[in-house]
Amino acid sequence: MDRRVVVTGIGLISPVGNTREACWDALLAGQGGIGPITHFDAADFAVKIAGEVKDFDPGAVLDRKEQRRTDRFAQFALVASEEAMADAGLLADRPDGDRTGVIIGSGIGGMGTFEANHSALVERGPARVSPYFVPMMIGDIAAGLVSIRHGLRGPNYGVVSACATGAHAIIDAALQIKAGRADIMLCGGAEATVCPMAIAGFGNMKALSTRNDDPARASRPFDRERDGFVVAEGAGILVVEEWEHARARGARAYAELLGAGLTGDAHHITAPDPDGRGASAAMAMALREGGVAPEQVDYVNAHGTSTPFNDRVETAAMRRFFGGHAEALKISSTKSMTGHLLGAAGGFEAGISALVVDRERIPPTINLEHPDPECDLDYVPNASITHPVGIAISTSLGFGGHNTVLLLAKAPDRR
């Protein structure tokens, strides 16, 4: 378990860009991707806005027949995995398939496929349900399809833990490497739930922003006037690799995954523990595993959903764990620009955090215009900054009380 794990490839898709660099540039520029829903007619919905991926073309990875047989969330996973593998140099120099695995999760899976086939069943009868319905819908299929496409025969499965899914997948992937079961793992999350059932369900829960007349300013983490999160779609896939293996093949590393924390609130199906105990315990676990003191952490990519309760509790958790050092932290929520990618959020935000460690640029929290006295830390408001970052954490908190924290540090050859 003393094998070191580094990030050697990153693939990103989100409402602000369809590639890693497009996403990174947009986030640094403070450009949001929230707008009116176009995937379906939302005229009768209380919520009419979302973070949709624009101009997405899976044609480089899937032919037209394959596209019809693959749900949008799995298409995102395939395209982002292709980018991550290319970034890591694994397309030109194919890895050992027996020593390379895939763990990709989705919080909800193929909800669009489920909706379409349920409508076909009700309106036209059971014979009209697609024979591809089940393999298109199930959440683990993204990992399976990536494995099949690239001949990756190592550990292979999906993870489901709501908004903590992508981060849990990365934690599991690192453990496979540390245990010696693999040298390379593709991991993260993908989600595509800008569809009627999801918007209606989250909306009726009163979890979503209803700022329909001003979508660009709807996602506003830590702001006093926040009124809910914005459903978004996309993917975040990382290549994580054993450090000596990466060095031997001449791969560059963005960051080292030093540790991880994962806890449960044991409190409520949707609401976090109001004292932030579970989240702060996950922070403590991650730093303890990585041998890092709280005052060594420079940056936090916060879960920061823009819901009144979550942002307040997450702030309390950081104050609880970091104590006086909380005042010195640079914190930002990239969900202010992307919206909430749900099961893909942990993978996407881990990728951004690795880039922050590597490049020492910190994206802002946009729309932070009205200070909330209960959210009183430095959330890097409205403009990106250049700042030394040796160690960062990325937090993901999910319905069901799932808490995850990823601890990232400079790559071993850059310390």
Set 168, 245, 340, 402: catalytic member: 340
Residue type, 112: G
Name the DSSP class of 395: E
Residues 6+ apart with CB under 8 A from 126: none
Q: Which two tokens stand for residue 107?
A: 């919080």
In whole angstroms, give the CA distance from residue 61 to residue 67.
9
In whole angstroms, give the CA distance from residue 370 to residue 391.
29
Name the DSSP class of 252: -
Q: Which two tokens stand for residue 216?
A: 């660009």
Set 163, 187, 195, 375: catalytic member: 163
The 3-class SS string of 71-102 reads CHHHHHHHHHHHHHHHHCCCCCCCCCHHHEEE
For the chain, the 3-state helix, strand and coil shares in percent, each to the nearest 5, are: 40, 20, 40
| C-beta separation of 249 from 93 below 8 A | yes
Closest CA to 165 of 351, 343, 403: 343
Residue 303 designated active-site? yes
Set 150, 168, 245, 303: catalytic member: 303
| C-beta separation of 39 from 195 below 8 A | yes
Residue 23 designated active-site? no
Q: Which two tokens stand for residue 75?
A: 């298409």
Residue type, 381: P
Beta strand pairing call for 100-105 and 184-191: parallel
| C-beta separation of 167 from 114 below 8 A | no
Closest CA to 329 of 396, 387, 410: 387
Supply the residues annotated as catalytic.
Answer: 163, 303, 340
